[in-house]
Structure 1
């Protein structure tokens, strides 16, 4: 398959492969949250308490959110090729608002199974929604402005970690929501809570960079030049990660710790902040994503075709995998001897702190869920390709 046929098709296979791969791996992290015995009581990334397998199980999923956000920006650029600037901005505004609604109403319910919405959880879909709204505004300035602003945000937002938080409670809250948040919980009346777990702007920076790189996938852009650019950008990004991590002065809210143990030092070196996504975290994950895109553009085999099914319908997969996982959790909850008096938990109903299984069982549940979702995803991909209803643009 040559470059022209790759880019003239409705979808770019390498993008769907990468997105499908991260969607599959993402489900592992959510399966661990629901089913691992220590998920509610321990930190899988703490070098002093974790195991190699547990650390890897959590760490490998670090690549999912930034890659997904990066590809959302890239895909936004590709979809804009057949629209006027005004049409692009309006679509991004509407899709961004829709995603914020989805996070609050649909995803939070799938995560918690709490029909009273006592705890609304704002995560990656929330951040993507706001990022699309901001992208809709910035592209009216210029495409170059999108790249420059994205690069500045990703490179410089960790400056806030070098200074004490502001005295103003309101300003400090906005700073957390926009830049530094991890687990910022806002109490509401009548025993309701909103948890801000994804600071918006660091993710916006990642999306903006993805949008800027989308120009490399224009039909007139030479395939070899695109591959070279992706390799150079990916290697520079990963090189930046190693340099800054060795220097250990900037790029992450928490400097790496030194232990009298080689294995713990290795874990500490790669344990960088996802909440919010630090410069080091973004360099490590997005850098590898760009290398993956560079070397998979011409891959087309049975494995890539299976994985790309999930990548072609990421929103559909993302929503239903939560409901499937939580439905299995309900079954496991009662099968494990828990009673109706123990259903109500924060943040997840049917998920007591003393519930769960070991890692091999978690992996088995993960494989089961991904396998079960293959045929529904394949059906919906075919449906989207053979139908043109307006609402399909939003799912």
Structure 2
């Protein structure tokens, strides 16, 4: 009988060991998806600097199908960043206690906010007058990390509930207008409706990325990260069915046109344009349908990449190891290319250092500034090709060295 009990204990221990993947400092599928997404993101930013100023690629009355899809494919970037930020925080528990992780999330979150308002603001505008300041993705990611620093001390079910309520329920607040809240209007712009925090003749501060529901997406990503402690087949099943479920949920909820996005789709002049209307969901703030549309396929990609990195995608995997480095440097490179193009084509560059209002953000382009989609795609490829060797070098540095500051860039 003792031998039987011993064998049973050994079997149980073996089952526990087999249910956990080997301890790894990084998850290849997460780095790969992050790298693909950040390369796609660069396309959007090249278009911001080289496309027609003020034009909306998703305005069906003025856009073209190629321009619409150029913008639409980049919609996947922000949701994946926030989701994987949460997942990465959960994976960090392999080498940190929750108390240490909370401290790290707060300090890194504050650092991202500083990066947004100092380093990235200069990258976008090449001036220090602070006449126009736009609070975008790093601002929201920083606050999402700070909120997550508190959430990680709750049970997993409570973290999931928090995320689901924000993601699925925030569209109930769409009817609340910041102007109706009086002195609390700036707070509402920070939380849910893009708008001005400061709007004076001297300074403008505009929140483009309100915190709700982005902090909810990050919380759900943290819960998802626990699946990377499971056996591979169990994790892959979860990613597959979650991805299918969210994608089908988007199709079903969008079809009924009842809830999930402030703007309903409508029948247009052709099937193609009707499809564009169907896909045209709100990003600022991201509606429930926007998040279902983007996160469902993202989870399916995580499932597809779970078996390893295909050789053709290894460059994206390397970039995905150093996403913040790529993010910061690529803005400086794109803006410098825009300055050079302005000088070569127009003979002056004064406007490239000046943005007096939101209508001229991030710079005051000369009349006729629009290089067209073919040139924009070529410049995008050039940016990625230039930055890849730098990312490979920096990824090697981070692998060789363990200096504390490396985790902040």
TM-score, normalising length: structure 2: 0.90
For 2:115, the equivalent position in structure 1 comes to 102
Match of 1:371 among 385, 392, 395: 385
The answer on whether the counterparts of 1:6 and 1:12 sit within 8 Å (CA) in structure 2 is: no
For 1:208, the equivalent position in structure 2 comes to 219
For 1:128, the equivalent position in structure 2 comes to 141
Find the aligned partners of 1:209 and 1:188 in 2 and give their Cα distance.
34
Residue 180 of structure 2 aligns to a residue in which SS? coil
The answer on whether the counterparts of 1:15 and 1:293 sit within 8 Å (CA) in structure 2 is: yes
Find the aligned partners of 2:336 and 2:149 in 1 and give their Cα distance.
37
Residue 296 of structure 1 deviates from its aligned partner by: 1.1
Find the aligned partners of 2:105 and 2:327 in 1 and give their Cα distance.
20
Match of 1:140 among 146, 153, 157: 153
Residue 388 of structure 1 aligns to a residue in which SS? coil
Find the aligned partners of 2:232 and 2:178 in 1 and give their Cα distance.
47
For 1:62, the equivalent position in structure 2 comes to 75
Residue 117 of structure 1 deviates from its aligned partner by: 2.3
The answer on whether the counterparts of 2:21 and 2:232 sit within 8 Å (CA) in structure 1 is: no
- Encode CA deviations 1:9-41: one digit per residue, 9 max, x unaligned: 3221111110000000000000001002x2x23
Residue 200 of structure 1 aligns to a residue in which SS? coil
The answer on whether the counterparts of 2:178 and 2:186 sit within 8 Å (CA) in structure 1 is: no
Residue 288 of structure 1 deviates from its aligned partner by: 0.8
Residue 163 of structure 1 deviates from its aligned partner by: 5.1
For 2:407, the equivalent position in structure 1 comes to 393
Find the aligned partners of 1:323 and 1:56 in 2 and give their Cα distance.
25
Residue 161 of structure 1 deviates from its aligned partner by: 1.6
Residue 6 of structure 1 deviates from its aligned partner by: 7.2
The answer on whether the counterparts of 2:82 and 2:214 sit within 8 Å (CA) in structure 1 is: yes
- Structure 2 counterparts to residues 327-366 of structure 1, below 5 A: 327-343=336-352, 344-345=354-355, 346-349=360-363, 351-352=365-366, 354-366=368-380
The answer on whether the counterparts of 1:273 and 1:281 sit within 8 Å (CA) in structure 2 is: yes
Match of 1:311 among 305, 320, 331: 320
- Encode CA deviations 1:91-137: one digit per residue, 9 max, x unaligned: 11111111111111011111111222221111111001000000111
Match of 2:125 among 112, 115, 124: 112
Residue 166 of structure 1 deviates from its aligned partner by: 6.7
The answer on whether the counterparts of 1:7 and 1:217 sit within 8 Å (CA) in structure 2 is: no
Residue 192 of structure 2 aligns to a residue in which SS? helix
For 1:35, the equivalent position in structure 2 comes to 50
The answer on whether the counterparts of 1:27 and 1:366 sit within 8 Å (CA) in structure 2 is: yes
Paired residues, what number? 387
For 1:157, the equivalent position in structure 2 comes to 170
Residue 120 of structure 2 aligns to a residue in which SS? helix
Residue 259 of structure 1 deviates from its aligned partner by: 2.0
User: Considering only aligned residues, what root-mean-square deviation do their CA atoms show, in Å?
Assistant: 1.9
- Encode CA deviations 1:209-244: one digit per residue, 9 max, x unaligned: 1000000001xx111110010111111111111111
- Encode CA deviations 1:309-342: one digit per residue, 9 max, x unaligned: 1100000000000000000011001111142554
Find the aligned partners of 1:110 and 1:350 in 2 and give their Cα distance.
15
> Does residue 1:279 correspond to 2:288, yes or no?
yes
Query: Which entry has the higher C-alpha Rg, 1 or 2?
Result: 2
Residue 47 of structure 1 deviates from its aligned partner by: 2.2
> Structure 1: 5+ residue runs without aligned partners?
none
> Does residue 1:12 correspond to 2:18, yes or no?
no
For 1:21, the equivalent position in structure 2 comes to 36
Find the aligned partners of 2:351 and 2:313 in 1 and give their Cα distance.
43
Find the aligned partners of 1:143 and 1:167 in 2 and give their Cα distance.
36
- Structure 2 counterparts to residues 318-329 of structure 1, below 5 A: 318-329=327-338
Residue 141 of structure 1 deviates from its aligned partner by: 2.6
Find the aligned partners of 2:304 and 2:239 in 1 and give their Cα distance.
9
The answer on whether the counterparts of 2:189 and 2:197 sit within 8 Å (CA) in structure 1 is: no
The answer on whether the counterparts of 2:197 and 2:205 sit within 8 Å (CA) in structure 1 is: yes
Residue 283 of structure 1 deviates from its aligned partner by: 0.6
> Structure 2: 5+ residue runs without aligned partners?
1-17
The answer on whether the counterparts of 1:109 and 1:117 sit within 8 Å (CA) in structure 2 is: no
> Does residue 1:239 correspond to 2:248, yes or no?
yes
Residue 120 of structure 1 aligns to a residue in which SS? strand
TM-score, normalising length: structure 1: 0.93
The answer on whether the counterparts of 1:330 and 1:350 sit within 8 Å (CA) in structure 2 is: no
Find the aligned partners of 2:200 and 2:151 in 1 and give their Cα distance.
36
Residue 169 of structure 1 deviates from its aligned partner by: 1.6
